[in-house]
Amino acid sequence: MTSSRVAVLGAGGFIGSRVVESFHLQGWAEVRPIVRRISGLARSRRFNLDSRIADGCDAQALRAALAGCEYVVHAIAGDNATIVGTVEPVYRAAEHAGVRRIVYVSSASVHGQSPALGTDENTPLREDQPIAYNNAKVKAERRFLRMRANGRVEAVMLRPGIVYGPRSPWIGGFANELLTGRAFVVEGARGVCNSIYVDNVVRVIQLALTAPGVDGHAFLVGDEETVTWRELYEPVTRAFGIPFNEIPSIKGSVPAQSSFERMLCFRDSKLGQALLPVFPLRLRHAMYTGLAAWLQYQPGGSPYVMEAEPAPVPDLERTLLQTCAWKLPSDKAKHMLGYSPQVSFTEGCRRSVEWLRFAGYPVLHRDFSAA
């Protein structure tokens, strides 16, 4: 594989940057990092690599960027429009460049944040989930399959769960919450965390790029161990010397959508997409801005009321994730791709805490074993 050239789209992101780092340092392939804008090169230009600039929605720029590549890893993150909108340009550019296979880094979120017991790759996907990100990922997968049905480039979809590790928002974001006193968990964080250490994702991407007979398939992938959210978070709390039990645990609830959220849902719906272009852009922008400001308006209170920290309110995503009851299986990936997680959960947590130290967090303890 070392002679093959692999383009990594989204090379500046969390997963993409680790793919670049690992493929290059392992000497596994000749890597070509591709980012949307010049500033996105900061991570990949730590190496002396042939990096390119191309927006995932710009077919012409992508054609030039993918020229000479045999494989493409699509790890572009972004808003929902970007998730869906990059599929066709990337596929067409890959076809033009003679790429053999695209591996699309999708998400286990296509099955929802708290999938029903028994969920696996055969479970039908829905585009009317309450979280718009999930629907965007479903649409992107389906769009890839449609493109593949009429195109020459093979497509493989990977559905990792909660990807953690160096630069992961699940680790760094939680560390930020802890250190600013904003951390909380839902119902003791006892729900199943469908974790996968980022290097296990890198490993399965490697396999998916070259495994025979997997074209058009989607694979759920996760760590070997079944763990809870508490088990993911505890190494971070321990690193900062904060007992896990001191973190507020609140009851999960599925909050009703606010007016603003309902408006955003309408905007993203088919009807909204059809109707909104009728209104001038400035008017739409003014409407969103005005409504958001109105919803944030808080009238003044009594001067005798002592200011208190607002109680945390879990959003729908956090509630569903931390009350999840189902460990998504990786059996299909094991069977068809030969996937076997290389990094254990304990080791993944250890490396994550080491990264916190690297990043400048005030890590006090490096004891990763359970308390």
Write phi, then psi, for 147 (nearest 5 degrees). Answer: -60, -40
Contact between 199 and another protein per CB under 8 A? yes
Contact between 3 and another protein per CB under 8 A? no
Alpha carbon distance 224, 196 (integer Å): 8
Contact region with another protein (CB under 8 A), list: 222-230, 240-248, 295-303, 357-365: 357-365
114 to 153: interface string for another protein, x by CB under 8 A: ----------------------------------------
CB of 64 or CB of 263, closer to another protein: 64
CB of 112 or CB of 166, closer to another protein: 166
C-beta pairs of 331-336 under 8 Å, 24+ apart in sequence? 331/120, 332/120, 332/121, 332/217, 332/219, 332/220, 333/158, 333/204, 333/207, 333/219, 333/220, 333/221, 336/211, 336/213, 336/214, 336/217, 336/219
Q: How far is the CB of 209 from another protein (least distance, A)?
A: 18
Contact between 55 and another protein per CB under 8 A? no
Contact between 46 and another protein per CB under 8 A? yes
Position among 245, 280, 360, 371 found at the interface with another protein (CB under 8 A): 360
Other beta carbons within 10 angstroms of residue 92's beta carbon come to 16
Q: How many CA atoms lie within 13 A of 116 on its CB side?
A: 7
Alpha carbon distance 203, 194 (integer Å): 17
Contact region with another protein (CB under 8 A), list: 3-11, 229-237, 293-301, 346-354: 346-354
Other beta carbons within 10 angstroms of residue 57's beta carbon come to 18
Residue 72 neighbours by CB under 8 Å, 6+ apart: 6, 7, 8, 9, 66, 90, 94, 99, 101, 102, 103
Residue 307 neighbours by CB under 8 Å, 6+ apart: none
CB 158 within 8 A of CB 222: no
CB of 146 or CB of 366, closer to another protein: 366
Position among 2, 27, 256, 308 found at the interface with another protein (CB under 8 A): 27
156 to 175: interface string for another protein, x by CB under 8 A: ---------xxx----x---
Instruction: For residue 325, give Cα distances in angstroms to 75, 223, 347.
Output: 28, 16, 24
Contact between 85 and another protein per CB under 8 A? no
CB of 138 or CB of 175, closer to another protein: 175
Contact region with another protein (CB under 8 A), list: 21-29, 108-116, 117-125, 152-160: 21-29
Alpha carbon distance 364, 269 (integer Å): 48
Contact between 351 and another protein per CB under 8 A? yes
CB of 122 or CB of 369, closer to another protein: 369
Alpha carbon distance 109, 86 (integer Å): 18
Contact between 43 and another protein per CB under 8 A? yes
Alpha carbon distance 361, 175 (integer Å): 8
Position among 26, 258, 259, 289 found at the interface with another protein (CB under 8 A): 26
Contact between 53 and another protein per CB under 8 A? yes
Q: How far is the CB of 69 from another protein (least distance, A)?
A: 18
CB of 43 or CB of 143, closer to another protein: 43
Position among 38, 116, 283, 295 found at the interface with another protein (CB under 8 A): 38
**In the chain, what is the straight-line distance between the N-terminal and C-terminal CA atoms, in Å?**
43
Residues binding another protein (CB under 8 A)? 21-22, 24-27, 38-49, 51, 53, 165-167, 172, 199, 351-352, 354-355, 357-361
